[in-house]
A and B are shown apart, each in its own frame.
Chain A
Amino acid sequence: MNPLLVQFLSEARDTLYDIGQKLMQLEQTPDNADLMNELFRPVHTLKGNSGLFDFPEMTRVLHAGEDLMVAVRDGRVVYSREIADCLLDAMDFVGQLCDEIEQGITEVSHIDDAVRLADALRKLIAVNAARTDRVESLDNIGVPEQPKPTNFIKSKNLFSLAPVPETIRMDAFRRILKGDPLHRLVYSPVEDCFFQGDDPLHQAQQTPDVLWCAIVARESWPNLVDLDAYRCVLVFNLLTAAPSEELVELYRYVPDQVVIQPVDPLHLVIPTGDPNGGPVYEDFVAEALLHLDGGNLASLGRAARTMLELSNPDLWLSSALRWLLLLLENMPSNRAVLRTLIESLRTLTPPDWSLTDHDAAEPATEGLSENVTDSLNSLSEEDAFERDVILDAQRQILMLQDQPAWHSGRLKAVATTLINCCAAMGEIQTAAEIEAALKTGLETGSGGLLLDWLNARIGMPTLRANLSEIVQSPQGQQQTGNVISAFTDEGPKFGRRAEDQIGPRSLKVDQVKIDLLMNLIGEMVVSKNALPYLAQRAENQFGAREVAREIKAQYTVINRIVEEMQGAIMQVRMMPVSFVFQRFPRLVRDISRKLGKEVNLVLEGEETEADKNIIESLADPLIHIVRNSLDHGLETPEIRQSCGKSAAGTLIIRAKQEADRVLIEIIDDGKGIDPEVIKRKAYEKGIIDETTLEQISDRDSVNLVFGAGFSTAETVSDLSGRGVGMDVVRTGVERVNGAIQLESEVGKGTHIRISLPLSMAVTKVMIIESDGQIFGVPMDHVVETVRIRRRAIHTIKQSKTTVLRGRIVALKALNVLLEIPAEPRVNDDELAVLVVRVGSEPVGLIVDDFHETVDVIQKPLEGVLSGLSVYSGSALMGDGSVLMVLNMKEMV
C-alpha cells in the first residue's frame, strides 16, 4: 500500500475515534460552542483527506456530515441525539470503508449506503433549519462559493488607447474582427498589497496574450526622501487578447483591484501623429465623401492610397489614411464609420466613436457574425456574463437544502426570474417549459425539475450528481434505522493508540516489528542460558577451571544486558488500557439508549499500562461484562426511582496497577445478583450438587455465574446473551493468567474484579520431573512443594488424599493425568507432591521430583499440537531442550 494511504488510514482511525468521543461529550453539554468547533474540525479534516484519494462514497458521506456540522456550529440546526446517531452511523460507515480499503477490498460498492447516509444527514439540516426558522446565508449550506465577479465596465473607457503604438492597435483591431476577445485590463493593487505577500508585477506578468502594457503611478512621484517604497501606488494598464474567464481566474485573489473591459474595435481607431500646421485637407475630404456617398469604395481606396504615398508617414493625416484603408478593407459596408473618420481630417481631432458607437459598430458586428442565430451565443460578452450571474444565482437558490415555509414562494420567484431572463434574450417559447417545471415543483415541493432544466440550460452536467443527494427520498429516515441495528459488536478495531502523535518524540512502529524484537530477545535469553552449561562442561569435562570462571563472568555481564533489553522491549509493548476503554463511551451510549436506560459511565485509570497482549485479551471479556451490567444489572429509570435510587445508573470501569498485576474493576449500582437465584439455577443446570447447594456461601454462589453453560437471562437477548454466559469471560481472562472475582449485594450493585499480569511475555515456571521427562508448572499456581510419607496418604472413595496443615488435600498423580503408564517414584518411602491451587481448592500433584524454577518465554502450541489442551505452551531451555508447560486449569 502506498505510504500516503497507510498514513491516511491510520489518521482516519484516530480521527473517527476522536469524532465519536466528541459527539458523546457534546450530548452531555450540547451548548458547548468550543466543543462544537472541535467536532467540526476532525470531520472537516477527514473529508479533506478523503478527497486526496478516489473514495467517492466516503467523501460523499463526510461532505454531508461536514455540512451538518457547519449548520450545527452556526446555530442553524440545534444539536440533538438524532443528529449524534446519524453522525455516528456515518462515521461507522467510514470506518468500515477504511477497513475494507486496508484489506484491499475494492469490488464491493456501498454507493447505496453512502447515498442513504448522506441523505439522512442532509435531511437533518433541512428539517432542523425549518424547525428553528432561521434564515440561512449562502456560505453556510455547502454550495460552492463563486468567486466574487471581477468588475466589468461597459460604458466608460478605462484608459485611453491613444498611447498604444498604432501598429499594435491595428493588430488588435484585426484580431477583434477575427473573433479574438480583446480586453483592457486595469490592475490597481491596493496600497498595502506588499504586506499581503503580493507581487503585482509578477501577477501582471502572468496575464496571457498581453499586446501592450503601461505601468504608471497613481499619483505623481514625491521626492525620494518622502517616498515610501512599500506603499504601492502602481497601476498596470494592459491590453490583452485573453478571454475574460482566464483573466478572472488569474486575478481571483484580487478581484476588487482589477477592472476588465472588452475593447470596441472602433476605439482603437485613433489617428495620431504630426498635425503639420493644421487641417488643410478639405479637398481630399470633399473627394472622399463624394466617393463614399456614391458607393464607390474602390475609388475611395485609390484616393486614400495616393494621398498616403504623397504624405510623410509621421503625419496625423497618414495615420488617419492608414486607418481608413484598414476600415475599408474590413468593414466596407459601414458608411457611418468611414464618414466619421474622413470628416475627422477637417479638424485633425480623433473621431468620437461614442457618438457612432451603437449606430455604427453594431451593424459591423452583425456583418461579422451573420451565421450566429442562437440568441445565447450572440450576446455581448458583458451581457453573457450578467446572464450567467443571474442563472447561477437561481441555481444556487434551487440548491438550498432547507425546506422553509416560503419554499413555494421561492420556487415561484426563481421561475419568474428565469422566464424574464429568457424573454429578454428573445426566447419566449421557453417560458412554457419553465412554467411546467414550476407546476410540478410546487406539487412535489421540490425544485428538482427546475434545477434540472437550469443545469441542462447552462450545461452543468456534473451538478446533476448532487441532485440525487438533495432530492429527498421518503425512505431515507426508515433506512437509517437499519444502519443503527447493523452496528457490529466489535466496534472499530483501532490499529494504534489515539494518543500517538506524529512528531519527533514518538514513532509509530508496526506491531510486527515489535513482535519480531520480542521473539529475538526470547531466543537471546535462551542462548544466554546455554553459557552456564558451557562453563560446567569446561570445568567438569576439560578441567579448565579458569576458562569456566571467565565464561561465568561473561555470562553475568550478558545476563544483565539481556535482562535490561528485555525490560526495554517490554516497555515498548506496554500500552494503556485506554486502548480498550476508549470504545466504552460509545458502547454504553448505544446500548443504554436501546434499552431505555440512563447510565453515567465513569472511566478511571485509563493511563494504566500493561503488555499489548494482555490489553488486547481484555477487550472481549470487558465488553461482555459491560453488556451484562447494562442488560441485567442496571435498572430502567422508573424501577430505579421506585427503589429510591437516582434515575441514572452509574457504571464505573477502573484500572490500576497493584504490584506486578493490573487490576480492572467494573462496578455498577444496579440491582445486584441474588445468590439464591444463582444457586438454584446452578443446581437446576447440574453445575452443583445438592450438598453444595446447601453449603455454598453467598459469596461463592454469585461466582457460579462464571460456571460453564450458565446464563441467567430468561430470554437470550441480542445484547449480552447470545447464548454464551460469563464462562466465556472467565476463560478469556484465565487464558492470560488472569483471575476474575465477583461480589454483589442485592439491590446495591455488582463489583467485578479482574486481576491480570502486567506482562505475559515471561512466565516463571517450576520444572518438575515425572517418568524421566521434565515439565513446567507456572509458578502462579504453585503453593508449595512437600514430600509426604506413603502412609500419610489415605484413600477416600477411590481418591487419594492427605492432610496438610489440618486440611484435607486431594492428591492426583501426574502420570495418571498425563496417561503415562508408570507408578510415581518413591524416594525413602516418600512421594514428591507439588501443591497447586486452581480456583479455590488446593490440589496435590504427585510427581517424581522437583527441579529449579526458571523464567521462560512461553510460546503457544501451533498446528496439530494446538489441540493438546493439557499444555499451555512450550519453551526452549538453555541447553536446547524443549520444556512443555502444563495447563493446570485443564488438568485438575
Chain B
Amino acid sequence: MPIDYKKNQVLFREIVGVEEAEGLLEFLHKRPAAKIDFGGCTHLHPANLQVLMAAKIRIAVWPKDANMCFWLKSALQPEK
C-alpha cells in the first residue's frame, strides 16, 4: 500500500496515486492531529497534496528524495 495509516501518523511510500486522495481525506478528517512521514515517498498525485494542504498537516519527515522535498516544501512550508 502506498499509504500506511498509523494511529496518529500517515506514511507515504513510493508513488501515492490519485485514487488514494479520498481515503487520505477521510483519515485526516477523523484524525486532524496526524503527522505525515514522507520518508519513502517519490511522488504523490496533487489530489493528495491538496488534501494535505487543506488539512495544514504537520510534517514529521520530509522525503529523502531531494527533488520531491523541494517541491513539497514549496507547497507545505510557505516561506515567512
* A interface with B by C-beta (< 8 Å): 163, 165, 194, 199-202, 204-205, 212-217, 221-222, 224-225, 227, 229-230, 232-234
Q: Are B25 and A234 in contact (CB under 8 A)?
A: no
Known: A194-B18, A215-B71. A201 touches B46 (CB 8 A): yes
- Which residues of B are found within 8 Å of A213, using beta-carbon distances? 70-71, 74
Does B21 make an interface contact (CB < 8 A)?
yes
- List which B20-76 residues lie within 8 A (CB) of chain A: 21-22, 24-25, 28-29, 32, 43-51, 53-56, 67, 70-71, 74-75
Q: Are A205 and B21 in contact (CB under 8 A)?
A: no
Q: Are B25 and A232 in contact (CB under 8 A)?
A: no
Q: Are B54 and A199 in contact (CB under 8 A)?
A: no
Q: Are B53 and A221 in contact (CB under 8 A)?
A: yes
- Which residues of B are found within 8 Å of A165, using beta-carbon distances? 79
Closest chain B residue, CB of each to CB of A230? B47
Q: How far is the CA of A45 from the CA of B75 in the complex (A)?
A: 46
Q: Are A215 and B51 in contact (CB under 8 A)?
A: no
Q: Choose one: B18, B25, B74; the contact of A214 (CB below 8 Å).
A: B74
Interface pairs (6), CB distance under 8 Å: A199-B18, A213-B74, A217-B54, A224-B55, A229-B48, A229-B51
Q: Choose one: B28, B48, B79; the contact of A224 (CB below 8 Å).
A: B28
Q: Which DSSP category, helix, strand, loop or mixed, fits chain A's interface?
A: mixed
Count A-B pairs with CB separation below 8 Å. Answer: 73
Closest chain A residue, CB of each to CB of B22? A229
Closest chain A residue, CB of each to CB of B24? A229
| Extra pairs beyond A194-B46, A201-B44 (9, CB < 8 Å) | A204-B71, A214-B75, A214-B79, A222-B54, A224-B25, A227-B25, A229-B21, A229-B25, A234-B50
- Which residues of B are found within 8 Å of A204, using beta-carbon distances? 71
Closest chain B residue, CB of each to CB of A217? B53
Q: How far is the CA of A223 from the CA of B63 in the complex (A)?
A: 26
Q: Choose one: B47, B54, B75; the contact of A215 (CB below 8 Å).
A: B75
Min C-beta distance of B25 to chain A, whole Å: 5
Q: Are A201 and B70 in contact (CB under 8 A)?
A: no
- Which residues of A are found within 8 Å of B47, using beta-carbon distances? 194, 229-230, 232
Min C-beta distance of B32 to chain A, whole Å: 8
Q: How far is the CA of A358 from the CA of B53 in the complex (A)?
A: 40
Q: How far is the CA of A437 from the CA of B43 in the complex (A)?
A: 57
- Which residues of A are found within 8 Å of B21, using beta-carbon distances? 229-230
- Which residues of B are found within 8 Å of A221, using beta-carbon distances? 53-54, 56
Min C-beta distance of A683 to chain B, whole Å: 91
Q: Are A227 and B49 in contact (CB under 8 A)?
A: no
- Which residues of A are found within 8 Å of B75, using beta-carbon distances? 214-216, 234
Q: Are B49 and A215 in contact (CB under 8 A)?
A: yes
Q: How far is the CA of A222 from the CA of B53 in the complex (A)?
A: 11
Closest chain B residue, CB of each to CB of A198? B46
- Which residues of A are found within 8 Å of B78, using beta-carbon distances? 214
Min C-beta distance of A425 to chain B, whole Å: 40
Q: Are B54 and A201 in contact (CB under 8 A)?
A: no
Q: Are A232 and B71 in contact (CB under 8 A)?
A: no
Q: How far is the CA of A216 from the CA of B76 in the complex (A)?
A: 9
- Which residues of B are found within 8 Å of A216, using beta-carbon distances? 75
Q: Are A163 and B79 in contact (CB under 8 A)?
A: yes
Q: Choose one: A199, A205, A229, A230; the contact of B67 (CB below 8 Å).
A: A205
- Which residues of A are found within 8 Å of B50, using beta-carbon distances? 217, 227, 229, 232-234
- Which residues of A are found within 8 Å of B79, using beta-carbon distances? 163, 165, 214
Q: Considering residues A165, A199, A222, which has the most beta carbons from chain B within 10 angstroms of its beta carbon? A: A199
- Which residues of B are found within 8 Å of A194, using beta-carbon distances? 18, 45-47
Q: Which DSSP category, helix, strand, loop or mixed, fits chain B's interface?
A: helix
Q: How far is the CA of A165 from the CA of B77 in the complex (A)?
A: 13
Q: How far is the CA of A744 from the CA of B55 in the complex (A)?
A: 93
- Which residues of A are found within 8 Å of B28, using beta-carbon distances? 224
Q: Are A234 and B74 in contact (CB under 8 A)?
A: no
Q: Choose one: B45, B54, B71; the contact of A227 (CB below 8 Å).
A: B54
Q: Are A199 and B45 in contact (CB under 8 A)?
A: yes
Q: How far is the CA of A99 from the CA of B43 in the complex (A)?
A: 51
Closest chain A residue, CB of each to CB of B51? A229
- Which residues of B are found within 8 Å of A205, using beta-carbon distances? 67, 71
Min C-beta distance of A496 to chain B, whole Å: 44
- Which residues of B are found within 8 Å of A234, using beta-carbon distances? 46, 49-50, 75
Q: How far is the CA of A163 from the CA of B48 in the complex (A)?
A: 25
Q: How far is the CA of A215 from the CA of B44 in the complex (A)?
A: 14
Q: Are A232 and B54 in contact (CB under 8 A)?
A: no
Q: Are B29 and A199 in contact (CB under 8 A)?
A: no
Q: How far is the CA of A205 from the CA of B21 in the complex (A)?
A: 20
Closest chain B residue, CB of each to CB of A234? B46
Q: How far is the CA of A233 from the CA of B75 in the complex (A)?
A: 13
Closest chain A residue, CB of each to CB of B44? A201
Q: How far is the CA of A214 from the CA of B43 in the complex (A)?
A: 17
Closest chain B residue, CB of each to CB of A231? B50
Q: Are A201 and B51 in contact (CB under 8 A)?
A: no
Min C-beta distance of A123 to chain B, whole Å: 52
Q: How far is the CA of A515 from the CA of B29 in the complex (A)?
A: 72
Closest chain A residue, CB of each to CB of B54? A221
- Which residues of A are found within 8 Å of B24, using beta-carbon distances? 229
Q: Are A199 and B25 in contact (CB under 8 A)?
A: no
Min C-beta distance of A404 to chain B, whole Å: 49
- Which residues of B are found within 8 Å of A230, using beta-carbon distances? 18, 21, 47
Q: How far is the CA of A874 from the CA of B79 in the complex (A)?
A: 95
Min C-beta distance of B79 to chain A, whole Å: 6
- Which residues of A are found within 8 Å of B74, using beta-carbon distances? 212-215
Q: Choose one: A199, A214, A224; the contact of B46 (CB below 8 Å).
A: A199
Q: Choose one: A163, A201, A214; the contact of B49 (CB below 8 Å).
A: A201
Q: How far is the CA of A213 from the CA of B51 in the complex (A)?
A: 19
Closest chain A residue, CB of each to CB of B25? A229
Q: How far is the CA of A224 from the CA of B22 in the complex (A)?
A: 11
Q: Are B51 and A202 in contact (CB under 8 A)?
A: no
Closest chain B residue, CB of each to CB of A226? B54
Closest chain A residue, CB of each to CB of B32? A224
- Which residues of B are found within 8 Å of A217, using beta-carbon distances? 50, 53-54
Q: Are A225 and B29 in contact (CB under 8 A)?
A: yes
Closest chain A residue, CB of each to CB of B76? A215
Min C-beta distance of A219 to chain B, whole Å: 11
Q: How far is the CA of A101 from the CA of B29 in the complex (A)?
A: 66
Min C-beta distance of B2 to chain A, whole Å: 14
- Which residues of A are found within 8 Å of B70, using beta-carbon distances? 213
Min C-beta distance of B10 to chain A, whole Å: 14
Q: Are A224 and B54 in contact (CB under 8 A)?
A: yes
- Which residues of A are found within 8 Å of B32, using beta-carbon distances? 224
- Which residues of A are found within 8 Å of B25, using beta-carbon distances? 224, 227, 229
Q: Are A227 and B46 in contact (CB under 8 A)?
A: no
Closest chain B residue, CB of each to CB of A236? B74
Min C-beta distance of A212 to chain B, whole Å: 8
Closest chain B residue, CB of each to CB of A204? B71
Closest chain A residue, CB of each to CB of B49? A201
Q: Considering residues A201, A202, A213, A233, which has the most beta carbons from chain B within 10 angstroms of its beta carbon? A: A201
Min C-beta distance of A194 to chain B, whole Å: 6
Q: How far is the CA of A200 from the CA of B51 in the complex (A)?
A: 15
Q: How far is the CA of A353 from the CA of B44 in the complex (A)?
A: 39
Q: Are A201 and B45 in contact (CB under 8 A)?
A: yes
Min C-beta distance of B33 to chain A, whole Å: 13
Closest chain A residue, CB of each to CB of B26? A224
- Which residues of B are found within 8 Å of A212, using beta-carbon distances? 74
Q: Are B46 and A200 in contact (CB under 8 A)?
A: yes
Min C-beta distance of A652 to chain B, whole Å: 62
Known: A163-B79, A213-B70, A215-B71. A232 touches B46 (CB 8 A): yes
Closest chain A residue, CB of each to CB of B73? A213
